[in-house]
Amino acid sequence: MLIENTTASKEQGLEFPVYLEKARLRILRNNLPAFKFRVRLQEVDSISGEPGADILQQSVVVESTMRKGWLDFELTPFKLLITKPFFVTFEQILDKQDRTIIADGYREFMRAHPERLVIDTIEFEGKKEPHLMIKQGGIDLPGTFIAITSKDWAAKEFTSFTRQTSFAEWVKVRGIVTAMISVSNQPITKTEKPKPCDDTNIICKATKLCETFMDETGVNGMQISVSKSGELKWSRAFGYADVDTHKPVTAQTKFRINSISKSLTALALVRLESEGKLDLDAPIQKYLPEFPEKEYPFTARQLAGHLAGIRDYRQDDASDLIRTEHYATAIDALATFKEDSLLFEPGTQFHYSSFGWNLLGALIEKITGKHYLIYMSETIFNPLGMESTLGDDATKTITNRSTFYDLTGKPNDLGDISYKYASGGLLSTADDLVKFGNEMLNGKSLSGKQREQLFQSQKTNAGNETGYGLGWYTGVDRNGHRIWYHAGDSFSSSSWLVIYPDDKLVVALVANSQHAAAFDIYEVGEFFYGNK
């Protein structure tokens, strides 16, 4: 990838001459036991514009076993002063065993899935070339896949070349490698090693865990909060809510909580039932006669437990998830799926479905006569002191709302999510989620019967437990501690909420990219319940 003084680079502070500090390569997926990459720094050939003579004479190789994340190459020891544009180049080093594993894997894949191999024609810079491509990804094949973006904006702002071997010719490509180079206008004279945390200092250990995770994955910003016995023990904001303006994350920064929205909606359901306004076991048409009857009837309880047979997002259709139409109400948004058939007879299978929860949002509107967001604010958010929790309404300017970033690092709001407020369209903070978790744990507004309904695993018709109650997963962590939990993620955000009922512990995390879906939230829980 070419590093040069473009307008965009200058806006981010790149002005030659600079000292090089670190190079980073984004590993999208690694399916090998281990892999190696070498970083090279090269001049720009004055005739061809391709990578030319080596600037870095030493061989800098990093070996890793990571599945995905940022691979770092430390450059500060070389004290390299760069005065003009240059290339940062990454070479994967494969031994014979690696090549055999990859070749055998591809041969088996081509034998088993010929329908997924297509020859497509790609046009780049006026030239058309045939390419053998794999439909539906292929990143589960043996090998190491680096993150590449083929977006038009990337091809306009950046330049990348590739070659198959160290002796092959360079070819300019439209796809831009996802990589970073850190620079400084001052040479670094020494590098201070971070001080290790004392074994008894759980705040230090938890902080280091978060900082290391952000460094390895490239998450721009996140919040985390922990309470024990109803008392807030730790709350911390990391990184940027907006990278371009260097706006830091604060405790008030609002993040998308995605599917944790289901857990909040579930509280509304049991409230309505306790008020005698909702029978969880009645056919859904009792409350929503405008929803078409299907081959089999199903209930609100089955919807809330992912047992109703309602479909989820279509994996081969991005427009099913990323929508542009704004829906005035949850009832209006039923148009997105109400004509679809059931996937199976209700009660026979567990099949996770966000659309099923969209239907529950419409049910709440029909029963209460109020917009879902208004009802939730009046009866859930405001009474619980969740001042930063609301719908992510694309028609409104929302104070302290984070910018969200896709896997390439670019801002991406993923359309209008008014069609799914009840299932995945709410904004909140880690502190607000902890308040909500404590209400689930100890709140006086929740009866024992309501808690039992929320957190008792439902069962299929055959009597098999699903591990999911009403809007909550239930189970144990790796040390056998009971947990009630939900996670949520989309292509540009992620979230966690975990309750340890026996330890009186609540842990919440929110982030402005999908990477934090891989964060080990349970390790934070282990720090605070003290049994690791």
- pLDDT tens for each residue of 81-134: 999 999 999 999 998 888 899 888 888 877 887 776 766 555 666 666 665 566
Instruction: Tell which of 124, 153, 184 closes a domain.
Output: 184
Cα of 339 vs its chain's centroid, Å: 30
pLDDT in tens, 436-461: 999 999 998 899 999 999 999 999 99
**Domain shared by 172 and 240, yes or no:** no
* CA–CA separation, 138 and 155 (whole Å): 23
Same domain, 213 and 88: no
Question: How many domains does the structure of the chain reveal?
Answer: 2
pLDDT for the residue numbered 182: 86
Let me know if residue 140 belongs to a domain.
yes
- 259 and 291 co-located in one domain: yes
Nearest Cα to Cα of residue 516 among 168, 137, 256:
256
Given this model, what pLDDT does residue 330 score? 97
Is the domain of 257 the same as that of 327?
A: yes
Residue 129 lies in a domain: yes
What range does the domain containing 154 cover? 2-184
259, 354, 402, 513: the active-site residue: 259
Q: Please report whether residue 192 resides in a domain.
A: no
In a domain, 197, yes or no: no
In a domain? residue 383? yes
Looking at the predicted structure, is the pLDDT value of residue 435 above 60? yes
* Together in a domain, 209 and 162: no
Would 200 be classed as within a structural domain?
Answer: no
- Active-site residue 259, yes or no? yes
pLDDT band of residue 315 (cuts 50, 70, 90) is: confident
Ordered DSSP codes for 2-17: EE---HHHHHTT--SS
Q: Are residues 94 and 150 in the same domain?
A: yes
Positive/negative CA dihedral, 390, 322, 140, 408:
negative
Q: Among 223-237, 252-266, 395-409, which stretch is predicted with the lowest mean pLDDT?
A: 395-409
Higher pLDDT residue, 33 or 38? 38
Residues 149 and 215 in one domain: no
Residues 345 and 470 placed together within one structural domain of the fold:
yes
Mean pLDDT of the chain: 90
pTM for the model stands at 0.69
pLDDT at 128: 64
Cβ atoms within 10 A of the Cβ of 433, count? 30
Before 346, cis peptide (omega within 30)? no
Q: Tell me whether residue 424 is in a domain.
A: yes
Residues 153 and 228 in one domain: no
For residue 48 the two structure tokens come to 């061809």
**pLDDT score, position 532:** 44
- Strand pairing category for 60-64 and 255-256: unpaired
Q: Is the pLDDT of residue 404 over 90?
A: yes
Residue 41 in any domain: the answer is: yes
Residue 294 sits in the same domain as residue 383: yes
Lowest model confidence (mean pLDDT) among 67-76, 199-208, 237-246, 322-331: 67-76
| Structure confidence at residue 8 (pLDDT) | 58
**pLDDT of residue 136 exceeding 90:** no
Q: Mark whether 39 and 153 lie in a shared domain.
A: yes
Do 354 and 437 lie in one domain? The reply is: yes
CATH code for the domain in which residue 268 is found: 3.40.710.10
